[in-house]
Structure 1
Amino acid sequence: MSARILTIGHLARETDTKVETVRFYEKSGLLPAPARTEGNYRSYDRSHLSRLSFIRRARDLGFSLDQVRELLALSDDRDRSCAAIDAIAKEHRAEVERKIADLQSLKHELDRMIGQCGCGIVADCRIIESLSPSTAA
């Protein structure tokens, strides 16, 4: 396959990423700086496309920028054990599980509030009452 030069716009479109985000990933060191054309335009190649796709997928899965940075550094050392990568993924999964538990608690509280609603008038609304600060001193 011949080397294909990509503009920043093309790279952004192929990875469904905003141009500003591509620049941000470059500035933050997640994406290596591309070569420049004679007109000083960025000139990306397939390795940039692959790396940006990796970053996008990891971000879509909720990995933090620091975790993505670690994963990229670890993935660059192909002969290394993947235990560190596994640890990052497990840590992230635990964080997701905590968020799910928090959201389930939030849902139960909202269900409780909604269940108390008699669908009468606002003056008697239990939801508004639940959200209002306590006036008892």
Structure 2
Amino acid sequence: MPIAADTPLSIGVLARQADVGVETIRYYQRQGLVRAPKKPHGQIRRYDQQDVHRIRFIKSAQRLGFSLKEISELLRLADGAHCAEASQMAERKLHDVRQKLADLTHMEAVLNHLVSACHDPDKRVSCPLIRALESGDA
């Protein structure tokens, strides 16, 4: 049964709705990304749907490769009035992703060559992979 939008949530329910662990929420709180509501004397902290949306925002940004520091900045821009700044951050992240892809493509090519060399039936030398790693040619 769904929980009403205005029903206060325990940290466990918040975690389930945001699809994260309780410790993730606590970590985000320590990092200043998620508020830690006041704890009434003798009771537990209560969260709301805004907290669910904030955690989902954080997780979505992480899936795109943004660091927690970058996400903190994105959260500051989350009112939608700072599109140019958000776009600049996304452009930098896109550049980083493209660089990583180029690096991975290079790694794939080198490994593919070395694996092929290892399986060469005519090889007359020691293992090409080990030799390449030792010489720094990889």
Task: Tell me how large the CA RMSD over aligned residues is.
Answer: 2.1
Instruction: Determine if contact 2:18/2:53 at 8 Å carries over to the other structure.
Output: no
The runs of 5 or more residues in structure 2 that have no matched partner are none
Deviations 1:50-94 (A, max 9, x none): 111111111111111111001100113x4x241000001111111
The runs of 5 or more residues in structure 1 that have no matched partner are none
Instruction: Determine if contact 1:119/1:125 at 8 Å carries over to the other structure.
Output: no
Alpha-carbon separation, structure 2, partners of 1:7 and 1:69: 24
Residue 28 of structure 1 is matched in structure 2 by 31
Q: TM-score, normalised by structure 2?
A: 0.83
Moved over 3 A (4+): none
Alpha-carbon separation, structure 2, partners of 1:73 and 1:81: 9
How much identity, in percent, do the aligned residues show? 37
Q: TM-score, normalised by structure 1?
A: 0.84
Amino acid at match of 1:69: S
Q: How many residues align?
A: 130
Secondary structure of 1:106's counterpart equals helix
Residue 124 of structure 1 is matched in structure 2 by 126
Alpha-carbon separation, structure 2, partners of 1:97 and 1:39: 52
